[in-house]
Chain A
């Protein structure tokens, strides 16, 4: 196996490390949000400003982790092709782009990461590999957290204070499920990255 000559191997170690680090930071922030959600009584005026500041920090943390993860997905998808995996759908650009296409983003990022995992294990005949339950679990957690978070946001936007308890519980559920989602993604990134480095043929190492 000499890899796919149309795709050059690109070092993704640094991107994987950064993505995992920022995901762990994100886990800490989600845990903080859950604790705040449980301890702070709704409508506490005195804590409004610190909570708003924490929300801002949480958003910045999410954005930083998202950029790092998408950067790694681009590189890892490219490297799966460089290892010789044929017939992977789309391109490394689309592996990232699917996250931003309405409705398609409910399924395509999952299939991209699933296929990337398979292609990293056995690039020559990746479709013969079984699906990985870790990826399914990660995607289920991600969907639950995103859907509950979106509903909470829409409720707050449309009903304001009247939606109080429902919004709070949904927001809490979203933060809570985001913890395993981020942890699972960190594990998936680590495993795919290690697998790709292990599968990397001598021809690519020498280049």
Chain B
């Protein structure tokens, strides 16, 4: 689990699908100030943040990665916009943990045996919930701690240069 920032210009942002307020990208390529590129593969971004992820947008972008899952949770652009969206994965993990706990309890009460798969899933989703909760707190703290930062208008080189 990690949060990080990247200062640069969005060079490429290919959306593969959008649903439930989330954009899923094939990749987002950033051009850094030193002319090199940095790719963020298969990231997700809430559409409020995705509105600032278009080719040519420059500023500071707030990234997260969790296991094999990546995304952009915030942006502060050179034109003064600042947007942040809290990740919601912990809710999903909690719901799945509770559903599996219910199945385990039901299997004990009704069938007099433990449903092992649900028990394993419950035991996996509890730490997953804590993990994602920690990620959300870290991401929020990272964005808030950076509130005084304003990207310079000419922070990044023009597109196509290196």
Q: Which residue of B lies closest to A112 (CB)?
A: B68
Alpha-carbon separation in the docked complex, A127 to B68 (Å): 12
Cβ of A5 within 8 Å of any chain B Cβ, yes or no, is no
Size of A's binding interface in residues, CB under 8 A:
15
* CB within 8 Å: A-B pair count: 39
Docked complex Cα distance between A62 and B37 (Å) = 42
Q: How large is the interface on B (under 10, 10 to 19, 20 to 34, 35 or more residues)?
A: 10 to 19
Chain A nearest Cβ from B36, distance in angstroms: 7
Whether the Cβ atoms of A87 and B2 lie closer than 8 Å is yes
Interface-lining segment among B38-46, B78-86, B154-162 = B38-46
B124 CB-CB contact with A under 8 Å: yes
* Cβ-defined contact, A124 with B36, below 8 A: yes
The answer to whether the Cβ of A49 comes within 8 Å of any Cβ in the partner chain is no
- The segment out of A12-20, A25-33, A39-47, A103-111 that lies at the interface is A103-111
Partner of B4, one of A87, A101, A128: A87
Q: Which residue of B lies closest to A114 (CB)?
A: B68
The interface bits of chain A over 69-101 (1 if a CB of B lies within 8 angstroms of the residue's CB, else 0) are 000000000000000001101100000000001
A132 contacts chain B at the CB level, 8 A cutoff: no
- Whether A11 is near chain B, meaning CB under 8 Å from some CB there, is no
In the complex, which residues of chain B have a beta carbon less than 8 angstroms from the beta carbon of A90? 67
Contact B38 A125 (CB under 8 A): yes
Q: Is A103 a contact partner of B37 (Cβ separation < 8 A)?
A: no
With the chains together, A89 CA to B120 CA distance in Å?
23
Interface residue? B101 (CB, 8 A): no
Residues of A within 8 A of B (CB): 86-87, 89-90, 101-104, 107-108, 111, 124-125, 127-128
Cross-chain pairs A/B with CB under 8 angstroms, 19 sampled:
A87-B2, A87-B63, A87-B65, A90-B67, A101-B124, A102-B124, A103-B124, A107-B68, A108-B68, A124-B36, A125-B38, A125-B39, A127-B39, A127-B40, A127-B41, A128-B27, A128-B37, A128-B39, A128-B41
8 additional contacts, CB 8 Å, given A124-B38, A125-B37, A128-B39? A87-B2, A87-B65, A103-B121, A111-B67, A124-B36, A125-B38, A127-B27, A127-B40
